Chain A
Amino acid sequence: MNPQGPLSVTVSAGTGYNFAYLDEGTKRMIRRAILKAIAIPGYQVPFAAREMPMPYGWGTGGVQVTAAILGAADVLKVIDQGADDTTNAVSIRRFFTATAGIATTTRTADATVIQTRHRIPEAPLAEGQVLVYQVPIPEPLRFLEPRETETRQLHALAEYGLMHVKLYEDIARHGHIATTYAYPVEVAGRYVMDPSPTPKFDNPKMDDCPALQLFGAGREKRIYAIPPYTRVRSLDFEDHPFRVQSFDRPCALCGAEGVYLDEVVLDDAGGRMFVCSDTDHCETRRVETRRDETRRADGHTGEAA
């Protein structure tokens, strides 16, 4: 029984749920885990993850972190593989609109809290923003050592030789480090961390990022964090330095270069196009391009815009 409860009850309009779905006791427990996660960058803090009204794998960890930090004045953006308009992103945005009544946006720059599944927005993040990652398997060593008791010891001893052997085996087998997503990083010179299955293209964005990055794994019941302006180093070797993917063509819609592209199959005759995975970035660029073109056309005919 929460003695703070009966004095004033804040329920979201019409839903009958507490603000942002979770009860206050759960939020406090998650909040305490978040504070410890921030104090120990890259260390996975166990927490008592709750059942959420969505299946595991749909972002139950991220949703719980978001629910615990969200305030009435926050503006929420949710992306799924960079897109604002896919099922997972739309569902989670609607969930918080319904249970918290907060404002949502698709514009990266307008958001105060961004929940993401496996991408970091292309637009640089700013101080005051919080990026919440949905994480399926938080333990970077899990596929190398299945026992939790052992991986916990390895983290305690900062014994990450296994991970280097794994990367070395990549080189022995393929001639290069073939890990392309969930590429392990070392946070603040201590803990090796799984950056969630983001493409390794996004790893450099985690380094020295002005925004706070929080990671929530619901099924595995772990929360971890990268504070702002923290050194995040992708593991590599002197003779095989970390390198991100590069694309040999720009985005087919907005012409952006140096961004992460998705392959879209157009027909069954081998037709395909490569477009920005970050839909907001792509749309913003296209609107700007159209505005520039309109302005140029207007200038050419001598008409005022």
Chain B
Amino acid sequence: MAQTHTQALAKTQAETLSQTRTLARGFADPVHEGQAVFRAAMEALSRPGRLRPLATALVPPAPLTPELAALALALIDADTPVWLDAPLRAEPAVAAFLRFHTGAPLVDAPDRAAFALIADPARCPAFTDFTPGTPAYPDASATLILAVETLSDEGGPAFAGPGIRGTVSFDASPLPADWASRWAANHAAFPLGLDLLFVAPGSLAGLPRSTRPVAPEMSPCT
């Protein structure tokens, strides 16, 4: 059992994973860590564009980042088909980690996924490849979790909408080149659309489909 692993092994297991076929550990305390990560995600989606801390001790197999792994363990399970982007799919240890700890079916077609984990957000497939829900069931839509390098709530493009008092600036990097038009199209389809969670080392932010990009010339000065 994982409990017999020494602390030292736990630290180095990420590097040695492919050789020794040991499995990186999940949450030490699934109940409270899962709750804390969910609450961070709930806050992130209810206050779009605002950065909040996300601390985790997970050491998942790269390129799965600790934050990506934390959200995956907190939100996905056997009921949620998961799609992995190319870098995550290229590392079999990632699929093994997710299969063992969550039991989630990993799907090849992005439009079948309830959650998509994206380690290379600059090359994220078109948003239209994922399912936006149906007019009768807009909740049956995908949630994308993107591991970016940096998150910023200063100086980026402005957003408004539910959860935002006035407007909020939000920027993440790297993002696809056509990010602005992608997000505008995603919001325009409301109530259909994708919901995005962004993770960077130690932090988290959310953009639900209800968040509207504010055109720069129309953005108020206050």
Instruction: Name A residues whose Cβ lies closer than 8 Å to a Cβ of B.
Output: 1-8, 10, 18-19, 24-25, 27-29, 31-41, 43, 45-46, 68-72, 152-153, 155-157, 187-188, 190-191, 212, 225-231
Complexed CA–CA distance, A33 and B85 (Å): 24
User: Which secondary structure dominates chain B's binding surface?
Assistant: loop
- Measured CA separation A6–B138 after assembly (Å): 35
A85 to chain B, nearest CB (A): 29
B74 at the interface (CB under 8 A from A): yes
- Binary A-proximity of B1-43 (CB < 8 A = 1, otherwise 0): 1110000000000000000000001111111101110110110
Chain B residues with CB under 8 Å of chain A are 1-3, 25-32, 34-36, 38-39, 41-42, 45-47, 73-77, 79-80, 100-103, 114, 134-139, 141, 143, 161-165, 190-191, 195, 208-210
Q: Does A38 lie within 8 Å of B2, measured CB to CB? A: no
| 13 pairs, CB–CB < 8 Å, chain A vs chain B | A4-B73, A7-B30, A24-B34, A29-B79, A31-B42, A32-B80, A39-B208, A40-B138, A69-B39, A71-B36, A188-B161, A191-B191, A227-B47
Say whether, besides A38-B46, A40-B209, A43-B139, A3 and B163 are in contact (CB < 8 Å). Answer: no
**Contacts A3-B101, A228-B47, A230-B163 given: A152-B136 contact, CB under 8 Å?**
yes
Count, A-B residue pairs, CB within 8 A: 145
Across-interface contacts of A156 in B (CB, < 8 A): 134-136
Choose one: A2, A6, A34, A229; the contact of B162 (CB below 8 Å): A229
Nearest Cβ on chain A to B118's Cβ, whole angstroms: 17
Q: Of B39, B137, B163, which one neighbours A71 at CB under 8 angstroms? A: B39
The answer to whether A8 touches B46 (Cβ under 8 A) is no
Q: Contacts A28-B34, A41-B162; is A227 near B46 (CB within 8 Å)?
A: yes
Of the listed residues B2, B30, B32, B73, the one surrounded by the most CB atoms of chain A closer than 10 A to its CB is B30
Closest A-B pairs by Cβ, 3 of them: A39-B208, A227-B163, A156-B135
Residues of B within 8 A of A46 (CB): 137, 139
Contact across chains for B35 and A71 when beta carbons are under 8 A apart = yes
Known: A40-B138, A41-B210. 17 other contacts (CB 8 A): A1-B103, A3-B103, A24-B34, A27-B35, A28-B34, A28-B74, A29-B79, A31-B42, A31-B74, A71-B39, A153-B136, A155-B136, A187-B162, A190-B190, A190-B191, A229-B164, A230-B162
